[in-house]
């Protein structure tokens, strides 16, 4: 490919249909795309990937850190990552906590890396160890389905409590098919409370979807990402191989009723008219078509295949953390009167350091707007 064929504002790759934007995010992705296997291993080593999950490790999560340390850490970095997973059957060869394990490992890796740089991002323990689910998961043993309004209200309550504690830049890192519920939680949170801050959800697989491409499109996987398949089995073999038993891995195929082209795959690799989550009935539900809890080729999983996507999301989340702190250093938030209908004067006591002189708890703030509670 020559430079003459590259669209303005984009960077070429070794794939004729893949370009990255010519900005910091795109250049970071291209760097990971072009990196050698040895360079990918070096990136993972910087984040101590793989490492055992740190849910009970002192100093890893807000809830496992002494209070004085939490307060000192927040003075340097007041961003909090909120990892979100679920309990879902992932075949007989993987644990049902797989989604929560993946996203926790990612967030923990970024915390370790940023800690070495002097300002660790903060982590909140996963608030959704069960999670919401799409309809087609209904009835699967090993899958525990939390009702949608419960998921939304749980996330809103978690966000409010973290904001009250001074964590006013919040990133919900999702690893499950419940994105629309989390997006709804963010929107309802702001409609209900109107608080200055940065509140974002990222479906991490979609954030680095290019790195889940199959081999015929330049990627590492032989198949497109679906569920408990080659991609997720590879992630498990990389991140927690002691929880994998490949003797029980199987290959399956879902049952679709419409020709290919209408609905996209799990990480939207083709840019089709609809995401998989934007409908039901055009394919068989899981318990009818794939009761094994696997949709795809789990037998093809290999740790090596997951390294590049993992390196990409670790580097991207670090960049997001850095960009937010550059725009709004610890203790600063976006302009109150530009991101809410409140006034700067009204918000001043609520934005003070918690428990400092003159501070007011957000639970006493007057309500504005249209938000409703279930």
* Average pLDDT along the chain, 374 residues, taken 10 residues at a time: 75 96 98 98 98 97 98 98 98 98 98 98 95 95 97 98 98 96 97 97 97 94 95 98 98 95 90 90 96 97 98 98 98 98 98 97 91 67
What is the structure's pLDDT at 222? 94
pLDDT of residue 140: 97
Specify the pLDDT at position 74.
98
**pLDDT for 352:** 97
Q: Which residues of 359-371 are buried (b: 16+ CB within 10 A; e: fewer)?
A: eeebeebeeeeee
Angle ∠(297,299,304) on CA atoms, nearest 5: 100
**Nearest Cα to Cα of residue 290 among 68, 89, 77, 32:** 89
pLDDT (0 to 100) of residue 374: 62
pLDDT at res. 359: 98
In the chain, what are the domains? Answer: 18-220+308-354 (3.40.50)
Can you say whether the dihedral through the CA atoms of 125, 71, 339, 25 is positive or negative? negative
Q: Rounded distance, CA 189 to CA 371, Å?
A: 8
Q: What is the mean pLDDT of the chain?
A: 96
pLDDT at 1: 45
Per-residue DSSP letters for 119-131?
-PPEEPPPS-SS-
pTM: 0.96
């Amino acid at each position: 490919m020559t430079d003459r064929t590259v669209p303005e504002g984009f960077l070429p790759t070794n794939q004729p249909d893949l370009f990255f934007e010519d900005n910091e995010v795109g250049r970071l992705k291209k760097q990971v795309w072009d990196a050698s296997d040895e360079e990918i291993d070096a990136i993972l080593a910087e984040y101590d990937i793989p490492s055992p999950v740190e849910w009970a490790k002192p100093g890893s999560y807000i809830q496992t850190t002494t209070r004085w340390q939490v307060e000192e850490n927040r003075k340097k970095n007041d961003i909090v990552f909120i990892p979100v997973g679920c309990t879902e059957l992932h075949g007989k060869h993987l644990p049902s906590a797989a989604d929560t394990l993946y996203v926790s490992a990612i967030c923990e890796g970024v915390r370790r890396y940023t800690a070495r740089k002097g300002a660790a991002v903060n982590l909140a323990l996963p608030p959704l160890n069960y999670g919401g689910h799409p309809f087609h998961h209904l009835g699967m043993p090993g899958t525990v389905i939390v009702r949608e309004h419960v998921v939304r209200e749980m996330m809103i309550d978690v966000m409010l409590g973290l904001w009250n504690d001074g964590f006013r830049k919040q990133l919900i890192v999702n690893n499950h098919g419940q994105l629309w519920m989390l997006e709804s939680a963010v929107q309802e949170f702001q409609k209900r409370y109107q608080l200055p801050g940065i509140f974002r959800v990222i479906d991490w697989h979609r954030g680095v979807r290019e790195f889940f491409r199959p081999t015929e499109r330049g990627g590492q996987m032989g198949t497109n990402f679906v569920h408990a398949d080659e991609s997720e089995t590879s992630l498990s073999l990389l991140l927690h191989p002691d929880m994998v038993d490949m003797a029980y891995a199987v290959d399956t195929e879902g049952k679709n009723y419409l020709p290919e082209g209408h609905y996209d795959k799990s990480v939207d690799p083709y840019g089709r008219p609809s995401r998989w989550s934007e409908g039901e009935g055009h394919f068989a539900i899981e318990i009818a078509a794939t009761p094994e809890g696997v949709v795809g080729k789990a037998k093809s999983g290999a740790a090596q295949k997951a390294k590049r996507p993992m390196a990409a999301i670790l580097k991207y989340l670090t960049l997001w953390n850095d960009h937010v702190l550059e725009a709004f250093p610890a203790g600063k938030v976006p302009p109150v009167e530009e991101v809410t209908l409140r006034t700067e004067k009204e918000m001043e006591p609520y934005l003070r350091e918690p428990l400092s002189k003159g501070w007011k708890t957000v639970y006493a703030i007057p309500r504005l707007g249209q938000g409703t509670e279930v």
